[in-house]
Chain A
């Protein structure tokens, strides 16, 4: 595997805001890489830096192991699918898709052949003469993809590619994006604020917040071992409990809380946490039952059922702990129906020590 795109200690400031703050990344050839973060976290700026639409204040941008800091956009083997697609409203589908090749001065016959091929690839045959305004959101999305991919970029940049689509179309386009990536064999770098989208599509995800890179890893790694509570909160739902470390043995820690009884949780072997920490437990790891389970879970807290939500295949219980914090527990429908709980019922919230993750607390407020 070779590096397709690299960022080396890149800094970019917009006015007084550090949009990108010392970000280093290495994205491999053929990877589907997502940059996930809330709006204003600097993820779009990273795409613009790679595309050459913005220049870094400091640090280097590498494409195929070559520093491209001062190369203009048209000299980079990179194309972009813009947010809201930025299709040229006065040009037909054909002219939009042909735009890049026309600018490169390709032969008319070649352009025609390539456009036909591209439109077939994104399944838009027969719409050549339409204007973008006459297309549905999904079709516009396909035109934007075709317009970028026709130039055979080494890297395709996608800025919130699915944000403007409704739920059903979005799921359809997710599959479509994966298929296209397999067919064109390019590196896809996708910016999104939708964590489920990033999880489903990506080989690896980078999580960003306020210009800083918080964590890079596979979706599974990031979900199971978030580097901080900010990442944990951004990737999937999680229950948190703040406390102080009483003692650690290896990776097993005892965390004490002002009001609640102490809990056992694991910390990552990388860091040896001290003082104030956050314990995170995923809702699907939490067991809720009216009586103490015979399994002998490591942790047990008393709670009151606050809300019962049916989602079809599972039940989500919101329970209130003694410190007034609300925790969530996701229970498969069959299990929930076997022993239904009602609002106001006192219950025990239980989980294993290895399912609770100790995270440094200094990143907690978000």
Chain B
């Protein structure tokens, strides 16, 4: 289903992560393959089959599942109202990915080119948020964005605002929350990619009359492509299915797919429709992945 070029994307990311340790003997490889397959089969493939089964069933009288096969759930996925949520999710996830790339690159560049000592400090700073629960961190943004929150009081005290802005429960707050949450996933693969670019290549470009911008366009950017691809995938897919961030920062109105699916399962108690939505989300991701593989962007640069 996924084109060979799409696989190329995955491969370039994998080699990026493992290129320095390729020598292992055959037996440990087989062992780890078996254990990995078992693990994936048990915790990934089996649940997936279960969810697929549920997506073909009907909703029971009191929110249970009645095992009557139907395709109705999938028909409902193509409902225009659902389409709006799909579209908003794609847009927010896409914008999040782009902004993460734009903000992440300078940060990743500094990290990759810093001295060993500084690199350790900066990487730790990037990682520190992960030591706190994601829910707590997202809730911190609620405190910042609230009508009487930190941001509004600051702006009013500075005299820039007369009345508090309603920032919370907007697409903006969801967007900021997503960028905040997933930025490290863009930065880390980018650091790995930039570290592999010899600084001498930058010098060579300058020596050959390139301006800063031209050097970036013709040397850094194309050579960082594996990092952008890996980071893009790592940011786009989770933010497309994000649930906590849109739930806390988006409120009930500005729903994203993740929140929608969660509501179907836990509030509307319509497990079959929630399952169908989950598969719709997965299908969308796979379709995009396939399309990415068909563009020049997905080609392995080496």
Interface residues, chain A, with chain B CB atoms under 8 Å away: 48, 51-53, 72-74, 78-80, 82-84, 86-90, 99-100, 103-104, 133, 147-148, 151
Contacts and interface: CB of A to CB of B under 8 A. Distances in A.
A80 B207 contact: yes
25 contacts: A48-B203, A51-B203, A52-B206, A53-B206, A72-B206, A73-B207, A74-B207, A74-B209, A79-B207, A79-B208, A82-B204, A82-B207, A84-B200, A86-B198, A86-B200, A87-B204, A99-B205, A99-B208, A99-B210, A99-B218, A100-B208, A100-B209, A103-B214, A104-B209, A148-B207
Q: Main secondary structure on chain B at its contact with chain A?
A: helix
A104 B208 CA distance: 8
Interface of B: 198, 200-201, 203-211, 214, 218-219, 222-223, 301-302
Contacts of A82: 200, 203-204, 207
Contacts of B211: 74, 103
Nearest to A53: B203
B219 A88 contact: yes
Contacts of B203: 48, 51, 53, 73, 80, 82, 86
A104 B302 CA distance: 27
A81 B206 CA distance: 13
Q: Identify the 7 closest CB pairs spanning chains A and B, nearest first.
A: A100-B208, A103-B209, A86-B200, A74-B209, A86-B204, A73-B206, A103-B210
Nearest to B200: A86
B302 A103 contact: no
Contacts of B198: 84, 86
Given A82-B200, A82-B203, A86-B198, A147 B223 contact: no
A288 to B, nearest CB: 48
B207 A90 contact: no
A297 to B, nearest CB: 53
Given A82-B200, A82-B203, A103-B214, A90 B301 contact: yes
A257 B128 CA distance: 67
A90 B222 CA distance: 7
A80 B209 contact: no
Contacts of A100: 208-209
A75 to B, nearest CB: 9
A204 to B, nearest CB: 24
B260 to A, nearest CB: 41
